[in-house]
Structure 1
Amino acid sequence: MSAQAEQTLVICGHGMVAQRLLEKLVVQPQRPFERIVVFNGEASPAYNRIQLSALLAGDANEDSLQLQQPDWYRHNNITVNQGDPVTAINREDRTVTTASGQTQRYTSLVLATGSRSASLGLEGESLEGVMGFRDLKDTRQLIQTSQRHRRAVVIGGGFLGLEAAEGLRSRGMAVTVLHRGSHLLNRQLDETGGALLEQALTERGLSIRTQTSPVALIGRNLVRAVQLDDETLISTDLVVIAAGITPNTELAREAGLDCERAIRVNPQLQTSDPQIFALGECCQLENQTFGLVEPGYQQADVLAQVLCHSDSQAAFAPSTIPTRLKISGIPIFSCGQTDADAETESVIWQDYDTNRYCRLLIRDQRLTGAVLFGETSDGPWYNERIQQADDISPYRAHLAFGKHYCEAA
């Protein structure tokens, strides 16, 4: 058997990005790895994490989240070890050791260890009833808790926090959202868009407090209340922390790989060890980390080529990715700049009857940003204008009405 045929690729982690990598690897014309071995810290095979909010809300079932059937892995000679995460890397011997004591040699190693909910450093975070909303296990626990209790506090008014809050509300819980920013989704929406979202969610039954921070979680063994910075106490049976993520870098750090906020990689997703690669939420390219699935997919596409072709020129270049969300049925789209500065002008269109809102930011007759609320069908066209830096002068008066009006003009 040739040395090339004996090559083994080991992947640590089996989330959506790792699965994308597997699917890109198996269709490459050159497949240098005789074996691909995946060690998954979760008990379930790769699933669609984006649909966890639908599962929490009761709008999806677990079977619908599965990305591939077991036969697919067998057919492609991929061995997946469920619930057995890698706990140590021996770079000298090129082996990994797992929680169960398995030792596996590798030719190339990919770290796709993802991230976890960021700790806020609050007193009481270790109490029972305090949790994150990151994976299937969390979602199952939230569903069980909603069946026994009636009060919840969600810390974080970003997308994940609002999805958790809406899911718990739909299961009958009284939910309070705490957000330290001036408005909800402050990274994706401007102040008006955030206010419209708050109004819509409040009408659906959520209690929302912006510019508010918790200072402690109160309870003996179980969480019983959240203390706010104005000394208010909110009684609760459950606290969900959804205020950012922390990349899982412990495995890489203990192996001596170069890490900052996350595992440092070059544009070929290679770490400081030439045989080890990283991608997804656990990696960092220059000063940028990645919390969305789309750049992770782009990384997987590049890494599949790099792993299968020694002379590949494929390289990952971060790009501005538009945000397209739907919260409680309300479509939201944003791309580029979301708040005006001294050099930008704003074109604003708002329909109070239908609760639709559009804000476009312009600099030097070029579109630099778009915020859409309630109607987002023109979002991709606006994003294209931003990326191509078109001169909008010929149709500026029609810009807020979308693609068809502008093309007609």
Structure 2
Amino acid sequence: MRKKLVLIGNGMAGVNCIDQLLRLAPDRYDITIFGSEPHPNYNRILLSSVLAGNVQMEDIALHSWEWYTEHGITLHAGHTVTAIDTQHKVVETDSGLRAGYDELIIATGSRPFMLPLPGADKDGVIAFRDMKDCLTMMEAARTHRKAVVIGGGLLGLEAARGLLNLNMEVTVVHIHKHLMDRQLDIPAAVMLQRELRQQGMRFLFEKNTERIMGKKRVSGIRFTDGTQAAADLVVMAVGIMPNIALADRSGIEVNRGILVNDYMETCKPGVYAVGECAEHRGIVYGLVAPLYEQGAVLAKRLAGLETEGYQGSVVSTKLKVSGVEVFSAGQFLDGDDTRAVRVQDEFGGVYKKVVIREGRITGAVLFGDTTDGTRLFSMIRSGENVAGREREILLGESAATGADKAAALADHEMICSCNGVTKGTIIRSIHEKGLRTVEDIKACTKASGSCGGCKPMVGFLLEYAQRQGAGKPAAKETICACTMFDHEEAIQAIRAGRFRHASEARAALGWDSEEGCAVCAPALHYYVNVHGGPADGRAPAVPRPDRSSGGTYSLVPRMPGGVTHAEQLRRIADVVEKYEIPLVKLMNGAELKLFGIPAAVISTVRNEFGMTADAALDGATVRTVVTCAGLRYDKDAMQDSISVGIALEAKLAGLQMPREITVGVSASPHHRAGSLTKDIGIAGAPGGWELYAGGGERQPQAGRLVCTAATDEELLAYVMAFVQQYRETARFAERIPQWIERLGLLTIRETLFDTWTASLLVGRLETAAARLRQPADQQPEAAGTR
């Protein structure tokens, strides 16, 4: 029997949570939604666009009436819940309607803060918060001309711009010295004020309103300094307050908002809160992105899935304020411990500022050109170290075209945060549907259909796609000439068919050649081994001979962490002499490699080592984990690199990879094990470890910071999840830097930070490793090693 789930509030945060829950567990709940407004869920961000005349009311609906019906949701629009009985689990509305629940979500949002001024109850004094306010302003503009907007923040300026479009004379009153003081620094605010003044907006700064004048209808406002301003319409846009009255009188603990833990749970069992009404770790969020992140956590919780919990959000604002592009994120104000890079072009109307503390970006402000916003926000969230290239962050991008910047973004990067549209979605839509204009993209994906702040980047993406020929079907790149399958299609087919042998897969999938070729044979062996089934019957790895024509093989005696001892070295020397192995060489990866071993004796040689010795196989493994001198002998060491390197090698030894992986573990940020040039690099730091990936030795490049870990155990879990994600999603022979570029570092990070998904990855890697370590007589087939 399905549980009963009730949502109080039909706004963006609550319904988005329901939307995500339906994707995870569509049949788990009978859902009832109560909304005070007589409309389906709509995009509140777009009210300013409606006021400005850019879109119609029907254009801002996020879910149609039909959507609720299709998903079996009972919607009570125009009903306000007035009471919650948490003991008997029942809610009641102002019309007397009652509904029981097993789980309850409170998403009552916020209400506008109305200044408690004498005369605030007069006709023509309104807030700007919902559709009703929007319609009132449009109606007032038909018969009145003078409008005063109290509040020079984002919402106030959007209201003012809309009223200008309605042919009203608009004055913005602000208590502070400059506009948007929470989103912009002074130089950007001055440039914004100059632009808006040219559009016809008037400003009164450092004004504190004393009273609203007029008889029945407002006629003006008086300030505490004795000055006045005439007004037929007064719009208060001075802030919002969490709507907590219902929760408070229902005995649910509140402060500024409804108090919730990391899983959005209130103090009452089965009662949750999300959105602008919720207070998490002392913070109430008013932007869409954090509210959707809260909803994602709660959706997993209600679906019965494990989740790490909500950790709070780094917020950013990227909007078009009255025709001007604005972006801000993080801590963008200067401090005693920060330095900044600035670009200011007052003739071109462009201002850019990046604030840096201890080598990491803490905040940014962009005005007039926000195309770098997505990239900068990603760097702020990741904590990427930019030491030594601070000026390049802005100045190095100046020569790049908009299409070049669009090309540099990963497919998962969010382009339109208002509607949740990524670069990948836009590019695919252009490719699949032949879109030719920004308007086509807006109609198809809704990107740029809200605030419009992303419209320039959407245009750049269109230019980039057209330049690459994305408007036409791309030639399919198959694995080789033996098949019509590409890598992703082959993986999906092998998973579906659960093939145990490459030959079985080739026969079932219509390969042109029974044995395959030099390109597809090793790739198919790898894919069957990693993606085939059942779990206890993987296809064996295929030994790869040396390049010489003699049919000989090579072995690498495994020395975990690059550490060896006298007995191991003696045994290696004895084996080399006994079997007359022609070449013994120290390789770059701190490996001792033995070449030229005849096929007839390779198994005997491995047994006589009395230790693990990996053969070169199709689908290479992790090479020896390189470590530095370690905690005992490295004077700058902060962490025990040798013990971590040995533990890591023990967990990864013998596992097949799409391509051979290099790993380095350094005890300090000096990277003495070359960790920045490895596929996976680990460096000790004062608070734990830093994990890097994507470095290059053959093609020199520095690894990128993936994450940090406080303990050895946490670090090992991150690395194991990262490696398994690579094994499952990389194409055969695809190097880790190429894989990161294709998937996007943010996508990889998000997977690692999702506790439930990461734990599944670690579990699958441990299962594969355990199979390798089973005695041969317990394995249905020989387990593959390197």
TM > 0.5 between the two? yes
After superposition, residues 285-296 of structure 1 pair within 5 angstroms as: 285-296=280-291
Match of 1:16 among 12, 19, 29: 12
Give the corresponding residue for 1:227: 222
**Matched residue of 1:273: which SS?**
coil
Give the C-alpha shift of residue 9 in structure 1: 0.7
1:303 alignment partner in structure 2: 298
SS at the partner of 2:297? helix
What is the correspondence of 1:39-118 to structure 2 with a 5 Å cutoff?
A: 39-118=34-113
Pairs within 5 Å for 1:338-349: 338-349=332-343
Mapped contact 1:281–1:291 kept (Cα < 8 A): yes
- For 1:48 and 1:249, the matched residues in 2 are separated by 22
Write out aligned runs for 1:140-159 (5 A).
Answer: 140-159=135-154
How many Å separate the matches in 2 of 1:23 and 1:366? 36
| Higher RCO, Cα 8 Å, sep 6+ | 1
Distance apart, 1:307 and its partner CA: 1.2
The 8 Å contact of residues 156 and 237 in structure 2, kept in 1 or not, is answered as yes
The equivalent residue for 2:240 is 245
Match of 2:393 in 1: 399
Q: Distance in 2 between matches of 1:162 and 1:404?
A: 30
TM-aligned CA deviation for residue 66 of structure 1? 1.1
Report the secondary structure of 1:394's partner residue: coil
Rounded Cα–Cα distance in structure 2 between residues aligned with 1:256 and 1:354: 56
1:381 touches 1:403 (CA, 8 Å); kept in 2? no
Corresponding letter in the other structure for 1:346: A
C-alpha distance in 2 between matches for 1:102 and 1:321: 38
Secondary structure class of the residue paired with 2:268? coil
Q: Percent same amino acid at aligned positions? A: 37
Partner of 1:279: 274
Give yes or no for the alignment of 1:362 onto 2:356. Answer: yes
Amino acid of the residue matched to residue 394 of structure 2? A
Instruction: Give the equivalent residue in structure 1 for 2:123.
Output: 128
> In structure 2, how many angstroms separate the alpha carbons of the residues matched to 1:367 and 1:13?
37
The answer for unaligned runs of 5 or more in structure 2 is 401-407, 409-700, 702-786
8 Å contact from structure 1 (residues 305, 314) kept in 2: no
Deviation at 1:369, TM superposition (A): 1.8
Deviation of 1:314 (Å): 4.2
**Contact persistence 1:154–1:176 (CA under 8 A):** yes
What is the Cα deviation at residue 30 of structure 1?
6.0
Residues 180-219 of structure 1 correspond to what in structure 2 (within 5 A)? 180-219=175-214
Give the AA of the match of 1:352: E
Q: Give a deviation string over 1:73-124, Cα, whole Å, max 9, x none.
A: 1111101011011111111221111111111111111111111111222121
TM-score (norm 2): 0.50
Which of 367, 370, 375 is the aligned partner of 1:381? 375
* 3-state SS of paired residue (1:8): strand
CA–CA distance in 2 between the matches of 1:139 and 1:315? 37
Give the match's secondary structure for 1:27.
helix
Greater mean alpha carbon deviation, residues 168-177 or residues 381-390: 381-390
Residue deviations 1:101-149 (CA, integer Å, cap 9, x gap): 1111111111111111112221211111111111111111111111111
Deviation at 1:402, TM superposition (A): 5.1
Conservation of the 8 A alpha-carbon contact between 2:191 and 2:346: no
Shift of 1:312: 2.8
Q: Residue 233 of structure 1: CA displacement?
A: 0.9
Aligned to 2:79, what secondary structure does the other structure show?
coil
Deviations 1:176-199 (A, max 9, x none): 101112211111100010111011
171-180 vs 334-343, which moves further: 334-343
**Alignment partner, residue 336 of structure 1:** 330
Distance 1:117 1:230 in 2: 26
Q: Which has the larger radius of gyration?
A: 2
Distance 2:174 2:396 in 1: 32
Asked if the contact 2:188/2:351 (under 8 Å) is kept, the reply is yes
Instruction: State the partner residue of 2:447.
Output: none
Q: CA deviation at 1:29?
A: 3.6
Residues 321-370 of structure 1, C-alpha deviation per residue, up to 9 Å, x if partnerless? 21111112211111122211111222221112211011222223332221
Q: Tell me the distance in 1 between the aligned counterparts of 2:24 and 2:101.
A: 20
Compare the two structures and name the one with the higher helix fraction: 2
Matched length: 403
Q: Distance in 1 between matches of 2:389 and 2:307?
A: 40
Cα distance in 2 between the residues matched to 1:220 and 1:95: 45
| Partner in structure 2 of residue 371 of structure 1 | 365
Q: Distance in 2 between matches of 1:162 and 1:53?
A: 9
Question: Which residue does 2:676 correspond to in 1?
Answer: none
User: Does the Cα contact within 8 Å between 2:11 and 2:41 map onto a contact in 1?
Assistant: yes
Matched, 1:25 2:21: yes
Deviation at 1:403, TM superposition (A): 4.4
SS at match of 1:246: strand
Contact 1:399 1:405 in 2 (8 A): no
Change (3 A) 1:264 1:352: same
> For structure 1, which segment, 378-387 or 241-250, has the greater mean C-alpha deviation from structure 2 after superposition?
378-387
Return the alpha-carbon distance in structure 2 between the equivalents of residues 322 and 379 of structure 1. 9
Q: Decide whether the 8 Å contact of 1:153 with 1:240 is kept in 2.
A: yes
Contact 1:188 1:323 in 2 (8 A): yes
Separation of aligned partners in 2, 1:252 and 1:344: 42
Distance change in 2, residues 1:386/1:314 (3 Å):
closer
| 2:685 match | none
Looking at structure 1, the residues matched to 112 and 277 of structure 2 have their Cα atoms a distance apart, in angstroms, of: 13
Q: Deviations over 1:223-249 (max 9, x none)?
A: 111111221111101111111101111
Shift of 1:299: 1.1
Give the Cα–Cα distance (whole angstroms) in 2 for the partners of residues 139 and 234 of structure 1. 23
> Paired residue for 2:164, among 147, 163, 169?
169
Kept in 1, the 8 Å contact 2:151–2:174? The answer is yes
The whole-number CA distance in structure 1 between the counterparts of 2:76 and 2:308 is 30
Alpha-carbon displacement from aligned partner over 1:140-167 (angstroms, at most 9, x marks no partner): 1111111111011101111101000000
Instruction: Determine the C-alpha separation between the residues in 1 that align with 2:308 and 2:364.
Output: 31
CA distance in 1, matches of 2:168, 2:103: 47
Q: Secondary structure at the match of 2:352?
A: strand
Q: Is the 8 A contact 2:145 2:168 kept in 1?
A: yes
Letter in 2 for 1:262: G
Q: Distance in 1 between matches of 2:136 and 2:88?
A: 40
The amino acid across from 1:101 in the alignment is: G
The aligned residue for residue 657 of structure 2 is: none
Could you give the per-residue CA deviations for residues 45-70 of structure 1, whole angstroms, max 9, x where no partner exists? 11011110010011100111111222
